[in-house]
Structure 1
Amino acid sequence: MDLALWIAAAVLAVVALLGGISKTFIPKARLDAMDGTWTTATGAGPVKALGVLELIAAVGLIVPPLVGIAPVLVPVTATCWVVLMIGAMVTHARLGQPKLVALTGFYLAVALFIAWGRFVLEPFGA
């Protein structure tokens, strides 16, 4: 189970890292042209803030147990990711994007697995 939780955390960390990099470092005008939906109705500040949160999530899913400092941050980060994905699902549903609702639902399920696994099944240090 420990290996499955590490793999899930790594996959979610890569997703968060890529999303965070794109929202933080790609100019909003270019994001609007690529994405064309939710970013066009949102200011640059909230888009960048979301990107920074995703970068923090990528770090929070992997780094704490590797350095041995506050590994409880992994399930806490996964729980925060669940909340973020609920917001993303609502946003994509309002915009009529069922494929993105499904994709964010998958990310939500992975985050739930990590949170449950690290809080209950296989906590670090147990």
Structure 2
Amino acid sequence: MNFAYWIIAGLLALFYVYAGTLKVVRSPDELRPMMTWVDRTPLAAVRALGAIEVLGAVGLILPPLTGIAPSLAPAAAVGFVLLQTGAIAVHLMGDDRRIALNVGLLGTAAVTVWLALGL
């Protein structure tokens, strides 16, 4: 893995640890100002999504860092590409046009896939 991967993947992992932890520990009332879609989503799904985000962040960093199953890093990055694709769809179906963050995260995850595969 190169230096660029560690910078991009590290920033992406930090974001997802933060966002995932919020989804796991905060109530829907506390999440609503940041995430309007929580009203349309069961709380169990919001919690599961948060756990997936935290695990994906770990998957970006831990495998290449330890050298154990480093192929999990690009798989985690692909997972984030798919996650953000779904997030954009959820926002647009709910008449929420604030997708700039999602598009940025999608691009960052795509770059992370590219860097992780060494293309």
Structure 2 spans left out of the alignment, 5+ residues: none
Q: Cα–Cα, structure 1 residues 119 and 46, in superposed 2: closer, same or farther, change >3 Å?
A: same
- Measure, in 1, the Cα distance between the counterparts of 2:35 and 2:54: 22
Give yes or no for the alignment of 1:39 onto 2:38. Answer: yes
- Measure, in 1, the Cα distance between the counterparts of 2:28 and 2:101: 22
Structure 1 spans left out of the alignment, 5+ residues: 122-126
* Number of the residue aligned with 2:52: 53
Look up the SS of the partner of 2:95 in the other structure.
coil
- Measure, in 2, the Cα distance between the counterparts of 1:68 and 1:78: 17
Give yes or no for the alignment of 1:19 onto 2:24. Answer: no
Q: Deviations over 1:48-92 (max 9, x none)?
A: 000000010110011111112111111110001100000001111
Alignment match of 2:115 (pick from 114, 117, 123): 117
* Number of the residue aligned with 1:124: none
Provide TM-score, normalisation by structure 2: 0.91
Look up the SS of the partner of 1:70 in the other structure.
coil
- Measure, in 2, the Cα distance between the counterparts of 1:71 and 1:36: 33
- Measure, in 1, the Cα distance between the counterparts of 2:36 and 2:31: 9
* Number of the residue aligned with 2:5: 5
- Measure, in 2, the Cα distance between the counterparts of 1:24 and 1:37: 16
Provide TM-score, normalisation by structure 1: 0.86
Aligned residues: 119
Look up the SS of the partner of 1:84 in the other structure.
helix
* Number of the residue aligned with 1:92: 91
**Alpha carbons 2:4, 2:115 under 8 Å: kept:** no
Q: CA deviation at 1:98?
A: 2.9
- Measure, in 2, the Cα distance between the counterparts of 1:111 and 1:31: 23
**Alpha carbons 2:24, 2:51 under 8 Å: kept:** yes
Determine which structure has more spread, i.e. the larger CA radius of gyration: 1
